Structure 1
Amino acid sequence: GIRVLLDGAWGFAASHRITPAEITRIVNLAVETAKGSRLTQQEPVKLVPVEAYQERYNTPIKINPFEVPIQEKAELLLKINDQFLSYQDKGIKKAYSFLSFAQEDKIFASTVGSIIEQTLYRSYPGMGCTAIANGDAKGRNYERPPLNIGYEHIDSADLLGNVERVAEEASEKVYAPEFTGDGKTTLILKPSNLFLTIHESVGHPTELDRVYGYEANFAGTSFATTDNLHQLQYAAPWINLVADRTQPQGRSTMPYDDEGVPAQRWYVVKDGILNDYLTDRETAFRLGRSSSNGSSFADSWSSTPMVRIPNLGLEPGKPGDSHTATLEEMIADTEEGILIDGIGSYSIDQQRRNFQFGGDAFWQVKNGKITGMLKNVTYHSMTTDFWNSIDALGGESELVQCGTNMCGKGEPMQIAQMTHACVPVRVRNIQVGRGS
């Protein structure tokens, strides 16, 4: 793929053929595209500067997943499925498991003088089962988070060791009472649920191209407009949300983005206040910055780079702080509420202001104890109301690197991946209702 900036207008073209003649053709096509773009452009594109870098990088791994025999991988998956199906007396009728691996080779070169080669390795295992009984069918799953890591992430003892728990919970879930409440309650969210709320209600609203309306016709805009920067009380004062593309094993971790900008760490929300955005070189210039924070990515050689969410996580509570608590302490200190694990259905409006999330498993909490499972629960909130209603968060020991390997954006659609490391939280007075 070749991107050109001609008289303040972008042009892009790509080809899978790598020959001198084809390179010439694609450069000329990108130039012609830029000329066409300029005809309707209202303001010329300007970029913040970037230095030239020459570097090679490989994701640090211990075991190359592509050197592990297929038979070994298949035997593990079949063993997991067989163990799930041994619980048919509990109503388990379906089982699945997967091992997902990727090797991504990227070469970036620019007229600034950069030549950057990066090889990324990604690993992601998971499994689940479905119980069919009681006139219903309910699933339960378990995944080790998608990370940039080698085959050492495939911990067979951990996967097999969770089969019984997952099967038992699927069986309990299918017999659990339907949630019939409709009002506000306290939620205790595990990292396996909270990461998606971070992604949708903090990550996407702070993509600066979205803020400026570049996606308005497809995915909407953002309530977190630039007049709110350093002003908006996005979250409670003890909440800090950090973008970090240097994070070890993070799904979006690499030394440089797809504009050759070095990886960085910065606060998006600091002490509860909207502190910064996710930028590329173009949007950083428009914001009046002197540099980009390196959030430009393309999902293949045939895609043009755009602003994407980096690794974006919730900082753990500070030791000794009155708002820091373990998951057990949150439960013990809750008179009535719901504990949620895993993700389910979700929706969010076009400005990322109003959302609804489900989960994979729900437990009723009463008088400081878990009293049993529920099913079909959703929670609803306005983004800033939700983040300002967190009154407790876990400490460093409960940090989990959850994340996604399937974030879509743009037309045509591009897929990106990122980690949302976070801790359990307790959120007060959140609207809940019955899901499906």
Structure 2
Amino acid sequence: MFIFKWINERYELELTKLDGIQITFFLMVVLNIHWIFHQGVLITYLILNMLYLTEFLYQNQKGYLKRLLMSTLIFLVILPFSNHASLLVIITLPLLIMILSGPVFLFSICVMLVPELDSFFYVFILQFEFILNQMNQKNFSIHLPHLESYMILIYYAALIYLLRSRTLMSVMKRSLIIYMILASPFIKFSIPDTTYVYFLDVGQGDSIYIENKTCKLMIDSFQYTRSFLINRGVYRLDYLILTHSDDDHIKESKDILKEISVDRLILSAYIDDYPSYTAPKSWLKAGDALTCGNIELTFLSPLKRYSNRNLNSLVFQVEINHRIFLFSGDIEEVVEEDLVNYYGDLLYSDVLKVAHHGSDTSTSKDFLHHVNPSVAVISVGYENRFDFPSQTVLQRLYENNVMIYRTDLQGTILFTSDKKKEKWSVYIPFQSRI
């Protein structure tokens, strides 16, 4: 924006601030198309547009009052993108802007000129960070419902309508529309029984979330899982299933249990080194079953106690609208052989969550033959140090005409199903990975 302002003044182009916002955003997208999928960039773009279009509300004000009005507008713009609304934000944001744009900015310039001041600057920043953390720990925030995309569009239309108000009475009347939009998720409509299965892009680990109007369950919980649930407005789970105790499957399990109510934790009966959990627990093995609303889970393994935690992973089938998903944890070929010998063609599943991130120790030919999936999903980190997925495993899947989805290349994978149709979607990662 500064460059645009300089060019505009230098060449007397007579372009407005609004022109500058649009041109800057357009050039950013031209240079990197993935900015379109970056929420931070989109929110910044929305804020800049809203501040410009509502400039008449605060342009004649000065000092703290002006900043307070601007922070209120920013708060209203970002509201649909957050499931937490801090009541302190509106009051403190102007003060933070003053501190960051004033003393901190000037102090940082002084440090560049006099490096010896760096230690004092460091102490100041630590104190500033401590104050922010203390404010964050205080319970001054409220939970907000998750809004669907179409409701977010309606919200912004209503917000523009509200900001065009000229009298107190019209402000009060139009504010009711905003309240109704925010309250809409709590109103129970007769909606289709759609089931969502998210294979989250969490790097070198596993996190799968399944949801419909009767069931909410999480399978494993590597990084970014808690934030996904919070951002989706999920504050209660029927089940949190931890297939085994490796960190790449349970890393955020305790964080989830702190912030989200979990009815029951599901653990492998033959793994003894799970962390200590206070939530109600069930230790399951082959032959057990669970019902979560209208979703059935059938546990196939562990059939016995094996030599390590990977082999003792929970393996289970989930039936969703007549489609069968097979989740296989981190099992290896020795367990796959036992499953083939014990279940035979009962292993058949439409979708295979490939074991152990595509390692060549799993997904053997015989096992793949009996499962006979049409779709395989591999949860794996981009350019990981293990070089997963194995080319051997990929070749086996190709030879069996299996459609492959990979979180390292395609981001989060979403399966959506109702009684009439089903669909696979991908959420493109911000950074290009191909």
| TM-score, normalised via structure 1 length | 0.20
Bigger strand share: 1
Q: Greater Rg, structure 1 or structure 2?
A: 2
Higher relative contact order (CA 8 A, sep 6+): 1
